[in-house]
């Protein structure tokens, strides 16, 4: 009796046929990165336009959560990498062709900048703060206030790169057809801006600011829906692997999560509620804002999980 051993690449645990390496911490990291980028971008633009006092929610209050959001996101990433004590090695080299390298270095710059950005207005927001026991903090505050405009100019390109990076990190993964789509970068950027606008609505200190960011959010949701349509059309216009991959979102196991929770409850319903609010109807602003923020997280969980399930056909 002749026995033969056949070796194939179809049974590599945690890699093939289904990737199962990235779990919820990665989705949380991508969500918090996009949210932080959006808040800082709006805050920097507000400062450059000299609207700090008029739009306090965007310029001062919402940025308070950014250092914490970035810290939680980075902690989730380091834990998910499996070897947290070796994470510093990301900063021993710069690889321009690597999205992970871009993201690591941009975060290294944005995180301390976000702390300095918040610190510049901290005593204005909390007048009871007293730095007399640490006089160096007065000097640090003066430094932050003096160079805040330069920080704003630096934050605009950095936050745009950070927002796009959260999508490029997935789209650069050619081995997974659901991720291999150039629209993911702009889509994740717009989604991050939308969740940031919703967060600013929650922090807004005036009806004028709430209405302004409701208008901005309506525009961003419309753009996001257009990009989603373009994303799906791109899959169907692609090769056999991409046509097969998109079935998980359209008619597959994750259809309800994608169209029911993300598109319907996370985009369409908040869009309708915000339009009604702008028309003068009384709508609790917290409802569409929370739906948009939740949908941003759901979208990232969905794309990370669905992308790992889809595979190259061979």
In this prediction, residue 22 carries a pLDDT of 80
In sequence order, which residues have a C-beta less than 8 Å from that of residue 243 and are 6 or more positions away? Answer: 235, 236
Q: Where are the domains of the chain?
A: 24-309
Nearest CA among 43, 67, 65 for reference residue 56: 43
In this prediction, residue 86 carries a pLDDT of 75
In sequence order, which residues have a C-beta less than 8 Å from that of residue 196 and are 6 or more positions away? Answer: 34, 35, 37, 38, 39, 41, 42, 62
Please say whether the beta carbons of 217 and 201 come within 8 A: yes
In this prediction, residue 128 carries a pLDDT of 86
Residue by residue, pLDDT tens for the chain (314 residues) are: 455 544 555 555 555 555 557 889 999 999 999 999 999 999 999 999 999 999 999 999 999 999 999 999 988 888 877 777 777 777 777 777 778 888 888 998 999 999 999 999 999 999 888 887 888 999 999 999 999 999 999 999 999 999 999 899 888 887 788 898 889 999 999 999 999 999 999 999 899 999 999 999 999 999 999 999 999 999 999 888 888 889 999 988 899 999 999 999 999 999 999 999 999 888 898 999 999 999 999 999 999 999 888 876 55
Nearest CA among 234, 114, 121 for reference residue 171: 234
In this prediction, residue 43 carries a pLDDT of 97
Domain 24-309 sits in CATH at 1.20.1630.10
Separation between Cα atoms, residue 303 and residue 260, nearest integer Å: 15
φ, ψ of residue 12 to 5 degrees: the values are -110, 105
Any idea how long the chain is?
Answer: 314
In this prediction, residue 7 carries a pLDDT of 53
* Residues facing 273 on adjacent strands: none
Which helix (H) or strand (E) segment holds residue 189: the answer is: helix 184-203
In sequence order, which residues have a C-beta less than 8 Å from that of residue 148 and are 6 or more positions away? Answer: 47, 117, 120
Q: What is the pTM of this model?
A: 0.91
């Amino acid at each position: 009796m002749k026995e033969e051993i056949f070796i194939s690449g179809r049974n590599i645990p945690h890699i093939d046929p289904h990737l199962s390496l990235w779990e919820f911490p990665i989705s949380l990291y991508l969500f918090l990165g996009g949210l932080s980028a959006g808040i800082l971008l709006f805050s920097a633009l507000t400062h450059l336009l000299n609207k700090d006092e008029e739009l306090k929610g965007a310029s001062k209050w919402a940025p308070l959560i950014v250092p914490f959001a970035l810290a939680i996101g980075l902690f989730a990433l380091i834990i998910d990498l499996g070897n947290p004590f070796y994470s510093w090695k990301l900063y021993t080299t710069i690889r321009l062709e690597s999205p992970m390298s871009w993201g690591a270095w941009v975060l290294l710059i944005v995180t301390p900048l976000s702390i300095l950005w918040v610190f510049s207005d901290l005593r204005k927001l909390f007048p009871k703060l007293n730095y007399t026991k640490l006089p160096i903090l007065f000097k640090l505050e003066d430094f932050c206030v003096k160079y805040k405009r330069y920080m704003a100019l630096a934050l605009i390109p950095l936050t745009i790169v950070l927002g796009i990076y959260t999508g490029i990190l997935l789209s650069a993964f050619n081995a997974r057809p659901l991720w291999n789509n150039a629209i993911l970068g702009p889509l994740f950027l717009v989604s991050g801006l939308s969740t940031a606008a919703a967060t600013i609505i929650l922090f807004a200190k005036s009806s004028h600011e709430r209405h302004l960011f409701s208008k901005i959010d309506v525009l961003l949701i419309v753009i996001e829906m257009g990009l989603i349509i373009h994303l799906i059309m791109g899959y169907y216009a692609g090769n056999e692997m991409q046509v097969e991959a998109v079935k998980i979102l359209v008619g597959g196991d994750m259809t309800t999560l994608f169209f029911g929770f993300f598109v319907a409850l996370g985009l369409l319903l908040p869009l309708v509620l915000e339009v009604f609010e702008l028309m003068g109807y009384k709508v609790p602003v917290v409802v569409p804002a929370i739906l948009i923020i939740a949908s941003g997280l759901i979208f990232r969980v969905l794309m990370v999980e669905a992308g790992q399930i889809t595979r190259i056909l061979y």
